[in-house]
Every structure is written in C-alpha cells, then in structure tokens.
C-alpha cells in the first residue's frame, strides 16, 4: 500500500493521502477519491538559504525566531492556495518542509518544536482531522529527524528520489548499483511444457492483506472523518452503520469476518496442501500504532492458523504495514534501530514451518529460503527495502540488507541443483512504490534465472491482476510474471477474497508451475443483510478469460486481447475490483491498468509505450 503522504509526516499534499488507499489504475467508482488529472511538471525549487525570499516582508521580521517559523510556513502556503497553484505545490512543499526541518535542527530546535510545527501544518491545511494529525506526526519523528539530520542529499535531491522525476532528477550515486552474478553462463531458455494428463498435482491457498482491526465496531458510523472507519472511537453522526462482517467504505477486517473465513477454510482444508500469505496483517490506523500492537496482530493471525488449520504449512512474507511506524525498515547498522522486535515475532510465528538454518535470515532481514518438497523451493523476499515510503533508504539504497545479492546466491544454488522456485514478495516490484534501481536489478535477476523462477506472488494493491516480465534485450518475449492477489480486507470497496491454486505436483520431472486457480469471495452486502456469510466461487481464469494455460505467454496474449475486446476487459475489471459493483472502467482507467500489467520494473514508461500505447 502507498502511504507517501504519511511518511512525509503528512506534509505532501497528494490526493491519495485523503483515503490512504492503494493507487493501481484509475478506479472510477463514484465513492472513491480520484487523483487530480496530471502531475506537477515544473515545480519551483526552494533552496534552504532562500526560503525567506518567498515570504512577504511582514513575515520576514521574526523569521529567525523558532516560534515564528510555523506561522511563516503557514502564511506562505496559504498564499499559494489563494493563488490557485495548490495542485502543483506537492514537490515545493516536500522541498520546503525538508529544508525547514533541516534548518530547525541546525538552529538547535527541539524535537517538540519541530513536531508542533508539522502538526500545525497538517491541521491548518486539513490534510487529516486534528486527531489524526496530532497522533501521526510523532509516529515518524524519530525516523524523519534522524534521516534529515544525516542526509548527504539536498532537499531537492531527496524529494526527487522519493516523489519521482516529476519533482527533480537528482544525481544520486547510491541509487545506481548492480548486483553481481556468478561467473556462470545463463542456460538456454526452456519454454514451459504442460504436464501429461493425470500427472500428480498439488493445491495451495493464497491469502494477502488481511488487515485485522481489533477496534472494529459493529454499528459504528460510515463514512467517518478519518482514513479508517468502522471503529469504536469514531465520533461522528451519519446514517450509515458498519455491518457485522465489514463495510466497503475505508474499513478493515473485523474478527467476525476472519472467524467466518477461517472456519470455512477449515471445512475445506482437504482441498489444499499448504498456504502462502503475502503480507499486511495490521489495520490501517497508521497514526495510532505501536510495536506492541503490531506484534499482537502477528500473534493473532498465527493463532487463527494454529486453531483452524494446524497441519497446513504457512509460508509468509513481510508487508509494509507490519512495522511501526508504517514503512520503516532501517538497514542493519543504524544506531538504535534494531528490527529484532518485529523479525523475532515473525521468526516465532513462521519458525514451525522453516528449518532452523533459515531463521537467521528471518532475524537479519525478514527473508528466508525453504524447500517444502524435493526439487521445489520457496524464497520469501522482504521488498520493503525497495519501498519508496521507507525514509531510511534515503541514507543508503544500495541493496539494503544485501537482500538481492543473497537472492542471487539462493537462485544459483537452486539452478545448480535443478530446483524450481516460487518467489513471495509483498509489493509488486514494477509499481512506483518500489525504488527504480532495486526494481531494475530484480528484473535482471528474473531474466537471468528465468528457467528457475517459475512463479511469483504479490499482494499490496488489494486488487486482482498480474505483472509481466519480458526479456531485457528486446522486451518482447514474455519470460515471467507475478500474480497480484486481491485482499481479504474490504479496504476499500472490495469484497473479501481468497484464492486456491493448482500446481504441477510432486514427481520426478515436475515443472512445479501453477496450472490453474479459482477465486472465492464473500458477498459483503448479503452477508451483513442475512447474517449468514457464504464464501462462494468468483471465477476461474481459464474459463472466464478463455486461456489455454497460465504461463507467461498466455498472460501476454490475454493483455493483448483485453486491449481489443472491451467486453472481456470489463469482465476482467469486475474481478480486478473484487466483485464490487462500481462504474465501468474506460479511457485512462483502462490504459492505466493495462500499463501496470506490463511494467514489471518501476519508473520505466517505455514498457507501457511499447506494449499498450504503440
């Protein structure tokens, strides 16, 4: 999920911060908050030494006084809003605020003074209500102040890296790096071969983005004035009321819904052999979370698996919501920033299905490699180390935690021993939530080991789609893809969904590739109305999309057909949106989704231009 505004201590005025919702495609629902058309193109850069020149003379008088800087900032921004330049000010604000925080620290301003200034900004411009602003700013104070204080980049360079090239195109040597491959030639690509009829199969369950909300309250008001609703502390009067099993409007998963889901899964557990879970366990109340609460969510999910599915191995990866504050994944070696509190909880939860040798990697970086069956390996990558919302990466983004270099080593061992690999990650690596060079390095890794990596699995977006990888010579030959699975949470405007895959089974010569899958969902409206939730069949891609297989070539063919056949695309969009009955998706909405599907590496519009916008 993208929480860029919150990571900037709520100081980046982006439309997406209002709902804290994922931004994959232009989802045209009348209830969704839509982004402004177009992004800023030519922002004015405020250098730290010339900020006061942008202020009126009446504001300069006491500007050097620490307690006047807050009012100067508010006055400047108020003028910007009156001038009608508001939609173009996001980059300016980023640079201005980073400059101001750095300037205040140089003047020995206290943490309390800085927090007060940013909180005042948040409230004054109604980025969120006063309750959220007051709580969320302190959540990030330690991270942001440490990073700004130790930053070797200028404010413009920092904002260019985090916001993107539309803000600035900085020279940042730490952002440009390459993993090292072993001195072994790449084997000739081997096209996938479907298994023989009646060959053994395995099945596995995919859950993602559960977002359990301990404070969900049946009958609480919806909508509310905060980014997350349906909670016990919502103090607004509206006609809507949260249902027992969830609500479409910015609400997370109540325990009643998860109890229904796991009870149902227990009743059909003979239909799958193992489980993958691709991250995001806690709720979206990012302004009021603590380490204790985050660990409690990990423990609660572990108990659900233990109580309802005790004999099913569970293989997980780390989501960006697991830590507190959200997105904060410091690299090893930063003083006072030990991630053992979180990785230790995960090692305890995951350890029952992992060898002891794998737990060292879990405790170090939240990663692991495990072989559930001879010839088959699952590798779990913590790609929060590519998360553009992770401020710690501004200090050093060169393969944080050595994750990708470790990944290359694991893949080489798998190639040498003839193993096939499933890759689990939370964030789809081609999204703009992933740093460019991390994403491009991963793309190269997938290219090099295309015969070894047979499938990839992501979460994060809460929608249902795929992400393609093409050969990095011509970008025309599809050689891999990732399944982006829809969420269990209803946040926002989704029905809860789970997926069961069929894969080539455990026998000599197995490809271990995914052969098919079925989605199942709860119709939230009916469940709340009747009080008897049912988990029913949603769709099968081979039948609904007329696909002969689920290999990379098949998905590439589907994308081409989705461009030409709008009836087929609207069916795809219905599943993309988890059966929520919104408005159809046409024009830019359709193009954006199709571009997301072909952009397996981030910040590379040429992929969209080549495949979708010729």
Model confidence over 440-480: pLDDT tens digits? 999 999 999 999 999 999 999 999 999 999 999 999 999 99
**pLDDT recorded at residue 533:** 97
For 12-38, letters b (16+ CB in 10 Å) and e give: bbbebbbbbbbbbbbbbbeebeeeeee
Confidence of residue 98 (pLDDT cuts 50, 70, 90): confident
Confidence of residue 390 (pLDDT cuts 50, 70, 90): very high
- Residue-wise pLDDT for 319-358, tens only, equals 999 999 999 999 998 988 999 999 999 999 999 999 999 9
Structure tokens at 459: 């979460």
Residue 66 pLDDT more than 70?
no
Residue 275 pLDDT more than 50?
yes
The response to whether 280 counts as a known ligand-binding position is yes
Q: Which residues contact 435 (CB under 8 A, 6 or more apart)?
A: 161, 175, 386, 387, 388, 393, 397, 602
Query: What are the angstrom distances between the C-alpha of 262 and each of 114, 205, 266, 269?
Result: 45, 12, 6, 10
Average pLDDT over the chain, rounded to an integer: 84
Q: Tokens 């806690």 map to which residue?
A: 282
**pLDDT recorded at residue 391:** 87
Confidence of residue 129 (pLDDT cuts 50, 70, 90): confident
Angle between helices 436-448 and 403-417 (to 10 degrees): 10
DSSP sequence for 97-137: HHHHHHHHHHTT--HHHHHHHHHHHHHHTTSS-HHHHHHHH
The response to whether 302 counts as a known ligand-binding position is no
Domain boundaries, the chain: 4-171, 201-213+252-611
Q: Kindly state the DSSP code that residue 335 receives in the 8-state scheme.
A: T
Closest CA to 432 of 16, 13, 96, 9: 16
The response to whether 586 counts as a known ligand-binding position is no
Using DSSP's 3-state secondary structure scheme, residue 174 falls into: helix
Query: What are the angstrom distances between the C-alpha of 471 and each of 435, 476, 478, 600, 603?
Result: 20, 7, 6, 11, 17
- Residue-wise pLDDT for 479-521, tens only, equals 999 999 999 999 999 999 999 999 999 999 999 999 999 999 9
DSSP sequence for 70-87: HHHHHHHHHHHHHTT-GG
**pLDDT recorded at residue 495:** 98
Please tell me the number of Cα atoms within 13 Å of 474 on its side-chain side: 4
Separation CA 129–CA 123 (nearest Å):
6
Query: What are the angstrom distances between the C-alpha of 591 and each of 541, 602, 605?
Result: 21, 17, 12
- The residues that bridge with 498 in the sheet, in sequence order, are 520
For the chain, percent of residues with pLDDT exceeding 90: 65
Calculated CA dihedral for residues 34, 38, 41, 45, nearest 10 degrees: -10
DSSP sequence for 220-273: -EES-SSSS-SBTT-----SEE-BTTB-TTT--B-HHHHHHHHHHHHHTGGG-S
Confidence of residue 166 (pLDDT cuts 50, 70, 90): low
The response to whether 440 counts as a known ligand-binding position is no
The response to whether 460 counts as a known ligand-binding position is yes
The response to whether 211 counts as a known ligand-binding position is yes
Quote the pTM value: 0.84
Separation CA 366–CA 406 (nearest Å):
12
Tell me which of 82-96, 289-303, 367-381, 408-422 is least confident: 82-96
Residues 288-317, mean pLDDT to the nearest whole number: 97
**pLDDT recorded at residue 165:** 63
Q: Which pairs with CB-CB distance under 8 Å and at least 24 residues apart come from 353-357? A: 353/313, 353/314, 353/315
**pLDDT recorded at residue 169:** 59
For 253-271, letters b (16+ CB in 10 Å) and e give: bbebbbebbbebbeeebee
Cis ω for the linkage preceding 223 (within 30 of 0): yes
The response to whether 463 counts as a known ligand-binding position is no
Residues 552-568, mean pLDDT to the nearest whole number: 98
Phi, psi of 305 (to 5 degrees): -60, -45
Q: Note the CATH number of domain 201-213+252-611.
A: 3.60.21.10
Structure tokens at 192: 């996938």
Report CA torsion sign: 128, 130, 132, 135. positive
């Amino acid at each position: 999920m993208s929480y860029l505004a919150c990571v900037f201590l709520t100081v980046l005025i982006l439309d997406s911060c209002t709902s804290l919702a994922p931004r994959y495609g232009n989802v045209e629902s009348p209830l969704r908050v839509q982004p402004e058309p177009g992004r800023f193109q030519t922002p004015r850069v405020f250098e730290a030494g010339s900020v006061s020149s942008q202020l009126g003379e009446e504001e300069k008088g006491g500007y050097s006084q620490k307690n006047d800087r807050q009012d100067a900032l508010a006055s400047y921004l108020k003028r910007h809003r009156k001038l009608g330049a508001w939609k173009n000010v996001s980059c300016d604000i980023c640079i201005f605020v980073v400059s101001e925080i750095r300037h205040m620290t140089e003047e020995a301003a206290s943490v309390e003074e800085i927090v007060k200034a940013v909180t005042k900004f948040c409230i004054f411009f109604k980025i969120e209500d006063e309750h959220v602003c007051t709580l969320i700013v302190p959540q990030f104070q330690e991270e942001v102040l440490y990073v700004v204080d130790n930053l070797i980049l200028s404010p413009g360079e920092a904002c260019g890296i985090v916001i993107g090239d539309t803000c600035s195109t900085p020279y940042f040597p730490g952002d440009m790096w390459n993993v090292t491959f072993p001195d072994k030639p790449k084997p000739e690509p081997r096209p996938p071969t479907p298994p023989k009829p009646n060959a053994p199969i395995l099945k596995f369950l995919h859950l993602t983005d559960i977002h359990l909300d301990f404070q969900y309250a049946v009958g609480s008001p919806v909508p509310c004035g905060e980014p997350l609703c349906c909670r016990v502390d919502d103090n607004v009067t509206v006609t809507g009321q949260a249902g027992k099993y969830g609500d479409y409007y910015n609400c997370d998963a109540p325990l009643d819904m998860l109890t229904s889901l796991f009870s149902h899964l227990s009743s059909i557990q003979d239909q799958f052999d193992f489980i993958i879970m691709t991250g995001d366990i806690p709720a979206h109340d990012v302004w009021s979370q603590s380490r204790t609460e985050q660990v409690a969510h990990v423990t609660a999910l572990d108990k659900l698996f233990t109580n309802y599915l005790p004999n099913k191995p569970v293989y997980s990866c780390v989501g960006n919501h697991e830590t507190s504050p959200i997105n904060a994944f410091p690299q090893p070696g930063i003083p006072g920033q030990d991630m053992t509190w979180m990785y230790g909880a995960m090692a305890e939860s995951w350890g029952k299905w992992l060898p002891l040798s794998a737990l060292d990697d879990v405790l170090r970086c939240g990663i692991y490699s495990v072989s559930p069956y001879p010839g088959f390996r699952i590798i779990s990558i913590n790609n929060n180390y590519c998360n553009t919302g992770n401020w710690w990466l501004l200090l050093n983004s060169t393969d944080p935690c050595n994750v990708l270099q470790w990944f290359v080593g694991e893949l080489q061992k798998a190639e040498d021993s003839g193993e096939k690999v499933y890759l689990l990650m939370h964030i789809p690596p081609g999204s703009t939530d992933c740093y460019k060079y991390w994403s491009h390095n991963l793309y190269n890794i997938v290219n090099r080991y295309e015969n070894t990596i047979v499938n990839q699995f992501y979460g994060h977006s809460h929608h249902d789609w795929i992400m393609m990888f093409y050969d990095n010579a011509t970008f025309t030959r599809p050689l891999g893809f990732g399944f982006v699975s829809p969420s269990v949470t209803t946040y926002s405007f989704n029905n809860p969904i789970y997926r069961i895959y069929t894969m080539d089974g455990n026998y000599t010569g197995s490809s271990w590739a995914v052969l098919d899958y079925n989605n199942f969902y709860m119709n939230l409206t009916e469940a709340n109305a009747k009080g008897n939730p049912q988990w029913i069949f949603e769709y099968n891609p081979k039948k609904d999309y007329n696909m002969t297989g689920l290999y990379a070539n098949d998905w590439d063919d589907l994308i081409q057909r989705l461009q030409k056949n709008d009836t087929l695309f609207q069916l795809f969009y219905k599943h993309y949106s988890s059966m929520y009955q919104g408005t159809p998706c046409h024009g830019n909405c359709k193009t954006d989704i199709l571009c997301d599907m072909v952009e397996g590496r981030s910040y590379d519009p040429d992929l969209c231009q080549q495949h979708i916008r010729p």
